[in-house]
Amino acid sequence: MSHDPTSDDASANDGLRVQRDARPMARSPLMSGAGADDGSRGAARALWVGRVMMVLLTLVFLLLLVRVGQLQTSPAEPVAKRLDTQTSRHTLHGRRGAILDRRGRVIASSRVAYRLFVDPQLIVDRNTFSEYVGYTLDYDPAWVEMTLHQRHGSRYIVLDERLSDERLAALADFKLPGLAVEPVLVRDYPKQMRAGHLVGFVGVDGHGLEGIERQFDERLRPRPGRMQYLRDARRQPLWVTADAYQPHEDGQPVRLSIDITIQEIAEKQLAETIEKYQAEAGQIVVMHPRTGEILALAHAPSFSPARFRDSSGDDRRNRAVTDVFEPGSIFKPMIWAAMTQMGAASIDEKIDCTTSGVYRSPRGRRLRDSRPLGELTWEEVLMNSSNIGMAIVAQRIGNEKLHDIVRAFGFGATTDSGLSGEVVGLVNPLRQWNHYSETSIPMGQEIGVTALQIVRAFAVFGNDGLLVRPTVEAVDPDDAAFNPIQQRVLLPSVARHTRHVLRRAVEEGTGRHAKSDLYAIWGKTGTAQLPDLVHGGYQQGQYVASFMAGAPLDEPELIVGCFIQKPDRSIGYYGGLVAGPPVKRVIEESLLYLNVSPDAEAHRRQAAYDAEARP
C-alpha cells in the first residue's frame, strides 16, 4: 500500500490540535484584574438602586400621610360623603336634675323608659301585623291599624311613648319584623298633683315650660356629651379616638323650701273648702316668717304635671302670683300698725264709729260697717274690722303718708320670689290718689295685691317688723351669706303689739271661727267684692273670702293665708266663716307635724300682756 505523506501530516496536525485545545487555558494577571473590577461596579449599582428605592418609598409614605391628613381635615365633597357612611356620631344624653322638697323627698326626677315604634317597610305580613301587636301587647288592633294608616309613607311611627313594665316584659320574647323599642329619658312626678302649680312641667324637648321646671331650667338641664367612631365595611365599630369622646353631665338637683307633708295638709283643706262652698277657685300659702321660705303653695283646681295636656291654661296658672284682687279687710293690719307707730291714734283712744253704722266723711263720702259698732278703742277698731274707724284715723295722716305705708310693706312691686309669671299688683301713683283714696286704701280697696304679696306683708308681724323676701329654695341654716331681710317696716314693739291685738281678733272679734284649743292663733278676716272689669264697679254677689293668720303667738313659726274666690253666696261668703276654719286646721296639723308643742299657756300669756302697759 503506498503511503501518502500529506495525509499523515494532516492527521498528525489534527491530533496535535486536539491536544492543544484540550489543555486548560492559562489566565494572565491582566485578565484577572478586569473581572474583579466588574464585580465591584455591580455591587455599587445595587446599593445605589436600594437607596433610590428607599427614598422613593419614604416619599410615597409621606405623601400617604399627607393625603390621610387632608382626607381627615378637608376632604373633597365626594370623599366626604363616602367617609360619612363609615363614621357614626352619637349624642350622649344626661339626666335632668331632680326636684326635691326641703327634706330631700323626690317631687320630680328623670329616668330611662322605652318607646315602641314601627317601621312599616320592614313589616312582612301587613294583614296580620296590627292584630298580632294588639292582642300580644294589649292594644286595640283597630287603633294600631289606624295609626299606621294615618302615617302612611313614614318609616318611624310611634305606638307608645312610654311602655309599661308589663308590655316591656312581654316584648322580651316577642320578635316581629318592623316593631322595635328605643330608650328615652322621661320626667316622672311621683307626687302626682302635689304642688303641681309650683313645680310646673317640661316639654317634649326636655326644657322647662312652667313653674320651678322653668325657673331653674338652666340648673336642672343636663349637658349632652358626644361620641364618634369609625365603622368597617360590615358596619361594626372599629375605634374611638380620645378627642372624639366627651362625657355628658347630669343636671343639678334643686331642693325646694316646700315641705311635701305641709303641702298635702294645705291641699286637702283647700279642696274640702272649695267643695263645701262650691267656690270657683282658691289658694293657700304657708310661709316661714323669718326666713321667707314658702312651705306650701296649694291651688284649686289642681293639675298633674305628668298629664299637663289634660288641663287648661287657667287650671295651670299659679294664681298666688299671677292674679290680682282687692284684699279688703286683711289689708287693715298693715295700715293700722303703721298709723299706730306714727302716733296717728293712741292705743286707748275712743273713736266714734257711729251707732247707725254709717259715716259721712268731710268730703261727703258715705262709709258703712257690717253692723253698727258705736264707740270703739283704737285696738277694737282692728279687732272688729271697722271701716269707719280706719277711715277716720287715715284722714289724719293724708294720702302721702298712706302711700308711703303701702310701698313700705312691698305692695306695687314683685316680691322677688322668682316665681314665673309674678306680677307687681296694682298701686296707683300718688298723683292719682284723691279724697276717696284716703278712705278706701285703709279698708283694702282701690289697691290690687297677689296672695304672695299679702302673706309676705302679714309676715312682718311674725318677724318683729322686718320685711323678708319669699323664696322657694330651701335655706341652708349654716349659710352665713343668706339674708332674706329686705327692710325694716315696723318697730319690734309695734309688730309684737299688733300680734296680740290680732290674737284678740281671733278670740273675741271677727276671727272666732279660727280659734284653736292647741295654739294661740292670731289673724285677720277679709271679705272683698270682686271688681267688674267690663262695666266698672263691683260684681254683684261675687266675693273673695280671705283669712290671714300666724302661730304660735310668742315665736311664730307659720304664716298662713287662705283665699277663696267666688264661694256660693247662699252657702257662705264671709272670710271668717269660709277661710278661717281651713287656716286653723292647716296651722294645727302643720305645727304638730313640726313637733311644736301645743300652747297650753296661750290664754294666760295673752291676759298678762293685756294687763301690761301698751307701747
Residue 19 belongs to some domain of the structure: no
Compute φ and ψ for 315, nearest 5 degrees.
-70, -30
**Cell numbers describing residue 108:** 320630680
The DSSP 8-state label assigned to residue 249 in this structure reads: B
pLDDT at 12 (0 to 100) = 43
Q: Kindly indicate the confidence band of residue 294, based on its pLDDT and cuts at 50, 70 and 90.
A: very high
Total tally of structural domains belonging to the chain: 2
pLDDT at 402 (0 to 100) = 97
Residue 344 shares a structural domain with residue 481: yes
| Stretch 458-484: mean pLDDT | 90
Q: Tell me the residue type at 63.
A: L
How far is the C-alpha of 567 from the C-alpha of 222, rounded, in Å? 44
pLDDT at 610 (0 to 100) = 62
- Can you say how many angstroms the Cα of residue 143 is from the centroid of all Cα atoms in its chain? 35
pLDDT at 393 (0 to 100) = 96
pLDDT at 163 (0 to 100) = 87
Q: Is the pLDDT reported for residue 338 higher than 60?
A: yes
Choice between 277 and 76, residue whose per-residue pLDDT is larger: 277
Percent above pLDDT 90 for the chain: 51
Q: Residue holding cell 294645705? A: 266
**CATH value at residue 594:** 3.40.710.10
pLDDT at 3 (0 to 100) = 47
Residue 249 shares a structural domain with residue 269: no
Q: Is the pLDDT reported for residue 19 higher than 50?
A: no
How far is the C-alpha of 315 from the C-alpha of 300, rounded, in Å? 8
Residue 212 shares a structural domain with residue 267: no
| Stretch 544-558: mean pLDDT | 96
pLDDT at 5 (0 to 100) = 47
Residues 496 and 550: beta-carbon distance below 8 Å: no
Residue 67 belongs to some domain of the structure: no
Query: Rounded to two decimals, what is the model's pTM?
Result: 0.78
Residues 528 and 546: beta-carbon distance below 8 Å: yes
Q: Mean pLDDT lowest for which of 214-228, 258-272, 435-449?
A: 214-228
Residue 241 shares a structural domain with residue 328: no
Residue 53 belongs to some domain of the structure: no
Residue 247 belongs to some domain of the structure: yes
3-state secondary structure of 200: coil
Residue 542 shares a structural domain with residue 409: yes
Give the model confidence (pLDDT) of 368-410 as tens digits: 998 999 999 999 999 999 999 999 999 999 999 999 999 999 9
Comparing CA positions, the residue from 508, 513, 365, 515 lying closest to residue 445 is 365
Which of residues 238, 255, 272 is at a domain's end? 255
| Stretch 144-170: mean pLDDT | 86
Residue 22 belongs to some domain of the structure: no
**Cell numbers describing residue 471:** 323664696
How far is the C-alpha of 217 from the C-alpha of 202, rounded, in Å? 9
Q: Is the pLDDT reported for residue 66 higher than 50?
A: yes
| Stretch 54-72: mean pLDDT | 79
pLDDT at 227 (0 to 100) = 77
Residue 204 shares a structural domain with residue 329: no
pLDDT at 608 (0 to 100) = 64
Residues 549 and 523: beta-carbon distance below 8 Å: yes
Q: How many CB atoms lie within 10 A of CB 395?
A: 18
Residues 441 and 402: beta-carbon distance below 8 Å: yes
Residue 340 shares a structural domain with residue 487: yes
Comparing CA positions, the residue from 513, 543, 549, 517 lying closest to residue 529 is 543
Q: Is the pLDDT reported for residue 299 higher than 70?
A: yes
How far is the C-alpha of 447 from the C-alpha of 325, rounded, in Å? 8
Residues 520 and 605: beta-carbon distance below 8 Å: yes
Residue 224 shares a structural domain with residue 327: no
pLDDT at 605 (0 to 100) = 61
Give the model confidence (pLDDT) of 217-249 as tens digits: 999 988 887 777 776 666 677 667 667 777 878
How far is the C-alpha of 226 from the C-alpha of 161, rounded, in Å? 24
Q: Is 595 exposed, middle or buried (0-12, 13-18, 19+ CB in 10 A)?
A: exposed
How far is the C-alpha of 533 from the C-alpha of 546, rounded, in Å? 21
Q: Is the pLDDT reported for residue 295 higher than 80?
A: yes
| Stretch 541-565: mean pLDDT | 96
How far is the C-alpha of 289 from the C-alpha of 406, rounded, in Å? 19
Domain extent at residue 145: 91-255
Choice between 45 and 514, residue whose per-residue pLDDT is larger: 514
Q: Kindly indicate the confidence band of residue 17, based on its pLDDT and cuts at 50, 70 and 90.
A: very low
**CATH value at residue 187:** 3.90.1310.10
Handedness of CA 417, 418, 423, 427 (dihedral sign): positive
The DSSP 8-state label assigned to residue 308 in this structure reads: G
Helix (H) or strand (E) holding 127: helix 126-137
Q: How far is CA 548 from CA 129, 333, 458, in A?
A: 63, 10, 7
Q: Tell me the residue type at 387.
A: N
Residue 45 belongs to some domain of the structure: no
- Can you say how many angstroms the Cα of residue 31 is from the centroid of all Cα atoms in its chain? 104
Let me know how long the chain is. 615
Residue 8 belongs to some domain of the structure: no
**Cell numbers describing residue 129:** 301585623
How far is the C-alpha of 245 from the C-alpha of 39, rounded, in Å? 61
pLDDT at 9 (0 to 100) = 47
pLDDT at 167 (0 to 100) = 87
Q: Kindly indicate the confidence band of residue 168, based on its pLDDT and cuts at 50, 70 and 90.
A: confident
Residues 572 and 284: beta-carbon distance below 8 Å: no
pLDDT at 11 (0 to 100) = 45
Q: Mean pLDDT lowest for which of 43-47, 55-59, 544-548, 564-568?
A: 43-47
Q: Which segment, 143-147, 415-419, 492-496, is predicted with the most confidence on average?
A: 492-496
The DSSP 8-state label assigned to residue 300 in this structure reads: E
Q: Kindly indicate the confidence band of residue 39, based on its pLDDT and cuts at 50, 70 and 90.
A: low
**Cell numbers describing residue 165:** 313594665
Residue 161 shares a structural domain with residue 187: yes
Q: Residue 552: is the preceding peptide bond cis (ω within 30°)?
A: yes
Q: Mean pLDDT lowest for which of 55-69, 394-408, 583-597?
A: 55-69
| Stretch 150-157: mean pLDDT | 84
How far is the C-alpha of 505 from the C-alpha of 473, rounded, in Å? 33
Residue 239 shares a structural domain with residue 266: no
Q: Kindly indicate the confidence band of residue 77, based on its pLDDT and cuts at 50, 70 and 90.
A: low
Residue 570 belongs to some domain of the structure: yes
Q: Is the pLDDT reported for residue 81 higher than 80?
A: no
pLDDT at 232 (0 to 100) = 65
Residues 274 and 564: beta-carbon distance below 8 Å: yes
Q: Kindly indicate the confidence band of residue 16, based on its pLDDT and cuts at 50, 70 and 90.
A: very low
Residue 164 shares a structural domain with residue 246: yes
pLDDT at 31 (0 to 100) = 47
Q: Is the pLDDT reported for residue 30 higher than 50?
A: no
Residue 195 shares a structural domain with residue 300: no
Residues 463 and 496: beta-carbon distance below 8 Å: no
Choice between 72 and 110, residue whose per-residue pLDDT is larger: 110
Mean of the per-residue pLDDT values of the chain: 86
